[in-house]
Amino acid sequence: MAKGYWVSVYPAISDPETLTAYGELARPAVQARGGRVLSRDGRVVAHEAGIPQRVVLVEFDSFEQAVLAYESEAYQKALAVLPGGVERDFRIVEGID
């Protein structure tokens, strides 16, 4: 079964406290669904049209598990704090195997 990944890129963070509040809610919601943070705030080398921004990569045992984690009530509560303080580009992607 192919793994699932959350890929989050943050083009703008106008209120760092909003991001902190999100993280306090998101971390346990992700862990409860088996998510493992592989990268967060690490070094970024951007090429071509890329922009060196905050990137977070989270791995799940399956694509379906990644989708269910996003749709969970606990994670939706975390998402509710983001608007207004953080601009985010988010995707759920399926691994190759």
The residue extents of the domains of the chain are: 4-94
pLDDT grade for 81, boundaries at 50, 70 and 90: very high
What 39-47 contacts at long range (C-beta under 8 Å, 24+ apart), as own/partner pairs, is: none
Report pLDDT digits (tens) over 5-15.
999 999 989 99
Sign of dihedral through CA atoms 33, 91, 63, 5? negative
Selection from 21, 35, 96 nearest residue 65 by Cα: 35
pTM, two decimal places: 0.91
Map tokens 């705030």 to a residue. Answer: 41
Report pLDDT digits (tens) over 51-60.
888 899 999 9
Contact 71, 4 (CB under 8 A): no
CATH topology of domain 4-94: Alpha-Beta Plaits (3.30.70)
